[in-house]
Structure 1
Amino acid sequence: MFVSEEMIARVIPKNRFLAVLYATILGAFFPACECGIVPIVRRLLLKGVPLHAGIAFMLTGPIINPIVLFSTYIAFGNQWDMVLYRSGLAFIVAMTVGIILSYQFKGNQLLEKGKMNTHHHHHHHSKGQSFKSKFADMLRHAVDEFFSVGKYLILGAFIAATMQTYLKTSTLLDIGQTDITSSLVMMVLAFVMSLCSEADAFIASSFSSTFSVGSIVAFLVFGPMVDIKNTLMMLSVFNKRFIFILIGYIALFVLVGSLLI
């Protein structure tokens, strides 16, 4: 497309800490909903971006971008506190997870079929391509991504809608009586509801009188990082073992962070 492997290699630092830091900050400049960020990250990994940098971008892209932060600001009555808590915890979680993954995993952890689907179109790219050719490639890649990953997005939306219908919120409220359980309940709720990060703050604000600030932050951070829809999409792209470990790290650090707020 418009970004070559060489360009990506020049932009991402070789140092693992700096690579994670750069990718985490990069999420602020490329607004992306969690519904569509998994295919973006897959393409970045296939272009040579390290796994730890790609995951860091995937975790912060749907949260710390200006659109989401502004909606959070509006949803909580033009108060900056929740914006800072949300962006701060998301940044720390992404940095921590990214650095840990850089030591634990080698390679991009993509499924072989995911590599095959995208590599087929990479080899004919050249620096001499016209804008028209690049634009045609971009449309072709978009169609490929829609059909390869879109079915999981649709399935995830169906499951989320079903669980919202049959899982009573009152039951979750009864469980969340302590700091730990309230954060866990809000994380489960975020996973089940599978809301887009541009709108979830308005739902979260409705729980302000019922749940603690920390548990609401857990809802706002965990949901965009892990929900039903993007979990199914990740299962279509990454190795299962990697996904389970990734979700475990995210859940742990979001929970700990929410308890410290």
Structure 2
Amino acid sequence: MRGHVNGWVRDGVGIVLMGVLICIFLFADMTNIEATIPKSMLNVNTIFLSIVLEALPFVLIGVFVSALIQTFLSEEMVQRLIPKNPLLAIVPAVLVSAIFPVCECAIIPVVRRLMKKGMPLHVGVIFIVGAPILNPIVFASTYYAFQTTPSIAYARMILAFVLAMIIGLVIYLFFRNRNQLKWTRNELVDKLTESRGIQTNKLKSTFYHASDEFFDMGKYLIIGALIASLFQTYLDREVLIQLGTNDVSSPLVMMGLGFILSLCSEADAFVASSFSHTFSTGSLLAFLLYGPMLDLKNTIMLFAYFRARFVIGFMIIVTISVYLIILGYQLYV
């Protein structure tokens, strides 16, 4: 009974947040709010809407792909497609992650659903860190943003490929593919239904899962976007620039900036290019690698759907891996 009430509360919060977002988007220009609300709060509103509207189409893609996986892909099929040897599965997983044209928000529901179908933990992590960077859309946007220095686009892809393998391997060594997912009551009921062979309307089931996951994930997207917009508005950029004056600290500064800004991986290269006269190439690559792998939005989503201990470990592994590979890049390039 208590879990049922908590579920209603969570759903209610999600619906309210979505309603507030729609009202702000539709009616903000119809009221004279500039005279009563501080300019900084209006800036928060603008950034918040831009983050949400930028991510929303990709989240929709992600939840529909997730729903299709839930409805049409069996656990036996997933297990047949993945090599039995966990180490041999790493390179194919990185290659497959490159065909997902989705950002860091959209890949999480897809990976979560695949892991519930039997995908190993380290393979799912490879998709989470690799797909937002390695897909062709991101390469094209990065190449276009750095037309005068196209080597940055190639370096981003190569380093992301290597990082995805390293992170997947380290995750396997530390967690040994033990289950790290959180299961909701509805998902447990669905799993029980499948195990008993109960037939359901597949089209209806697809839309049901898509809508359920959209509202579930939407509230975390909105919370993450709000926190990111507050940071972007009130964080002093001059402090960041002062900290990023050497090859040791500047990658950390840009990694922190990538985490805070929570930009979609299809658009972050244009922001990175605006720092090209202030920060080194290695620092720009740190921004372009770390942000899509780990930012405020997807961190909140990860804590919502994975166990806290795993998420903290994942964050530490990604942070250390990106920082060390950037230091190595700066030494040898």
Class of the TM-score when normalised by the shorter of the 2 chains: over 0.9
Decide which of 155, 167, 170 is 2:223's aligned counterpart.
Answer: 155
Alpha carbons 2:170, 2:317 under 8 Å: kept: no
Decide which of 180, 183, 189 is 1:109's aligned counterpart.
Answer: 180
Aligned residue in 2 for 1:196: 264
Structure 1 CA distance for aligned equivalents of residues 162 and 193 of structure 2: 39
The ranges of structure 1 where at least 4 consecutive aligned residues each deviate by more than 6 angstroms after the TM superposition are 126-130
1:252 aligns with 2:320: yes
Structure 2 CA distance for aligned equivalents of residues 208 and 198 of structure 1: 18
Shift of 1:260: 2.0
Gaps of 5+ in 1: none
2:180 match: secondary structure: coil
1:118 aligns with 2:184: no
1:99 aligns with 2:169: yes
Seen in structure 2, the aligned counterparts of structure 1 residues 117 and 102 have a Cα distance that, compared at 3 Å, is farther
Match for 1:181: what amino acid?
S
Structure number with larger C-alpha Rg: 2
Task: Give the TM-score, by structure 2 length.
Answer: 0.73
Alpha carbons 1:214, 1:260 under 8 Å: kept: no
1:77 aligns with 2:123: no
Match for 1:121: what amino acid?
D
Task: Select the structure that is richer in helix.
Answer: 2
Shift of 1:212: 0.7
Alpha carbons 1:152, 1:232 under 8 Å: kept: yes
Write out aligned runs for 1:162-173 (5 A): 162-173=230-241
Shift of 1:101: 1.5
Q: Which stretch shows the higher mean deviation, 53-62 or 142-151?
A: 142-151
Gaps of 5+ in 2: 1-70
Structure 2 CA distance for aligned equivalents of residues 95 and 64 of structure 1: 12
1:164 match: secondary structure: helix
Structure 2 CA distance for aligned equivalents of residues 164 and 56 of structure 1: 29
1:239 aligns with 2:303: no
CA deviations over 1:202-244 (Å, ceiling 9, x no partner):
1101111111111101100100010000000000011111111
Q: Number of residues paired by the alignment? A: 257
Aligned residue in 1 for 2:29: none
1:49 match: secondary structure: coil
Structure 2 CA distance for aligned equivalents of residues 117 and 212 of structure 1: 49
Match for 2:228: what amino acid?
A
CA deviations over 1:29-66 (Å, ceiling 9, x no partner):
11111112212111111000000000011111111001
Structure 1 CA distance for aligned equivalents of residues 203 and 148 of structure 2: 40
Decide which of 30, 35, 38 is 2:108's aligned counterpart.
Answer: 38
Percent sequence identity over aligned pairs = 47
Aligned residue in 1 for 2:119: 49
Task: Give the TM-score, by structure 1 length.
Answer: 0.92
Shift of 1:116: 3.7
Structure 2 CA distance for aligned equivalents of residues 122 and 172 of structure 1: 48
